[in-house]
Structure 1
């Protein structure tokens, strides 16, 4: 990611501009005033990725503006990143002096949690070998982290290849495994606000929930406590494995998770073709009243969007309000927006997360 224009003094104005933009996008649908959920002004980002840039004999953490790979922004500290990342950065940098750790190291990735866990991925232009692993084990113990070494075709894990997170929703704390290399929400405090908003918006239901794009079960865990049972889908194998572990760790037993894309599940529900991964799932046993979607930036494809029209309630979290508005336009003749929200996941950038509840007219 490119470096945000960090300016806490301008935060309130920027947030007001985002809220105005969301109102404008939702205005054609007579949406209610969005609830606005702000972010901490600093130390909010739980993930960070840096390239390494050499100047003389010194190497520095570096980032680049989008589209420019030749003009580095040298980083000594990173106030948008978590305190844990900032604490680890200089200690890791000092460890580069060890040849087994620093030789041909070109990229560093930090993954931390509100619960205090941390994992660092080190990427190399040479094989990670036994000497690297011995040095990494010592460093991991000194820093109190897990380490992952990556080189072409090889990955070596020292400790765990995931971090543990804890998020409290409506008074209950859920535990999450967040794998290295998989998608997780970058702003933990805002993620917690999103989960609580979605939990409240869905309400207590006596029927079933379909969830598309479930990831590692971020929303699945709390929403499953609001309904009779859940059918959830996700295409990423890493995320599916994490979600299954998270369901077990939290003793959530009313969720069936299937590794299918949203498009494939749409075909299955429309009886276009069968899928072996659904062989043991009785789709007709579900009494779906609600669907929850958290799609990628492109939004829902037209067929999946059309599928959601069948449901009384569509709970939609979006990382791209423009495609959210396009999807609402397709559904507007049968569903109305009854709640809307802005979640400022990405302060000091133009990006924002939005949520809407659509209910049948």
Structure 2
């Protein structure tokens, strides 16, 4: 697909999102485009075995038709190089290829990669020895690679299960630990644009920031510079651990992570439940005038929407504009949209990432 075709598709997305936000008197969208190829930093492939051959495949979601995939232009250049290098080495060792049914790749702009090999068999010491040899051979080809083996109730890491990404944001490099099989933003370059937009939206903010669904601290680490203090919540333990690393790695001294879901935090704030995880944390010490939310596709639940309305400024990133608009029906009773943006995280699909900054009326 050429640049003009991509631009036409992006224009259609922009028109659609503009129409969805129109009932809420949203201002003109800021539209952030993606690179047209090599933008996706992670990919998953099933493995097809055919006599002595094996190769990556993908299925058409509608027709279920199987397609052989030797190269994937939307995937990072590093994934494509690894695809070409990995399969010949797997074919040479029966213990590595036998009952292998899926390969997952996670890459970074900093040229690190995790290769996860998924099996329908138990992984034993012989597999570990072969996988170690595979890792050495890939490193000799110039890859900075981590190898992980997965099977039922098994996860074997030869070294570690994470990579450290480096994202340039407004002229500064930020380090982000990304853990295998945990959520990370799939489009690194668009993620940088999202972070820059969020930082710009919160320039000259007063008071503190509360963030729900913080993941590995993707936004909170970058936003901390604009606030006196930041309090962030996340329920997934691997993401919390990664966020704690990222706080230290980026020399952030005003950010605290709590391992709680947004729903649990809402219950704590409303006095519905007490949580041992909040012991020693004085929520009253935070003067949060701004709240940041980046919820899953289902959007914010009704109780959390009511909690969010208590804040003067709401920064909302959404991977589902329809549930965003459902939440806006309530939020726009008390707030107005000051800025709106479209981030093309998923080119060549109908999916869009939307951002809105709301301020109290």
Q: Same fold (TM over 0.5)?
A: yes
Distance 1:72 1:96 in 2: 21
Partner of 1:95 in structure 2?
A: 89
Structure 2: which 5+ residue stretches go unaligned? none
Question: How many Å apart are 1:158 and its aligned residue?
Answer: 1.6
Q: Deviations over 1:272-312 (max 9, x none)?
A: 11111111111111101100000000100111011110101
Aligned to 1:12: 7
In the alignment, which of 123, 131, 152 is matched to residue 128 of structure 1?
123
* 1:354 match: secondary structure: strand
* Pairing 1:299–2:294 present: no
Measured against aligned partners, the alpha-carbon deviations of 1:50-80 in whole angstroms (never above 9, x if no partner) come to 00113343222011122655x2111010000
Task: Give me the whole-angstrom Cα distance separating, in 1, the residues matched to 2:115 and 2:289.
Answer: 42
Aligned pair 1:271/2:266, yes or no?
Answer: no
Distance between the aligned counterparts of 1:56 and 1:170, measured in 2? 52
* 1:181 lines up with 2:176 in the alignment: no
Given that 1:296 and 1:319 are in contact with CA atoms closer than 8 Å, whether structure 2 keeps it comes out as yes
Provide the TM-score with structure 1 as the length reference.
0.96
SS in 2 for 1:127: coil
Q: Deviations over 1:250-280 (max 9, x none)?
A: 1112111111110110111111111111111
Offset at residue 350 of structure 1 (A): 0.2
Normalized against structure 2, the TM-score is what? 0.96
Equivalence for 1:3 = none
The aligned runs of 1:131-146 (5 Å cut-off) are: 131-143=126-138, 144=143, 145-146=145-146
CA RMSD of aligned residues (A): 1.2
Q: Contact between 1:95 and 1:102, CA under 8 Å: does it hold in 2?
A: no
Displacement of 1:348 in angstroms is 0.3
**1:99 Cα shift?**
1.1
The 8 Å contact of residues 7 and 348 in structure 1, kept in 2 or not, is answered as no
Choose which of 33, 36, 57 in structure 2 pairs with 1:41. 36
Distance 1:205 1:171 in 2: 21
SS of 1:192's equivalent in the other structure is helix
Q: Which moves more between the two structures, 133-142 or 312-321?
A: 133-142
Paired position in structure 1 for 2:161: 161
Q: State whether structure 2 residue 209 is matched by structure 1 residue 201.
A: no
Q: Distance in 2 between matches of 1:96 and 1:106?
A: 12
What CA distance in whole angstroms lies between the structure 2 residues aligned with 1:47 and 1:89? Answer: 12
Counting only pairs closer than 5 Å after superposition, residues 279-318 of structure 1 correspond to structure 2 as: 279-318=279-318
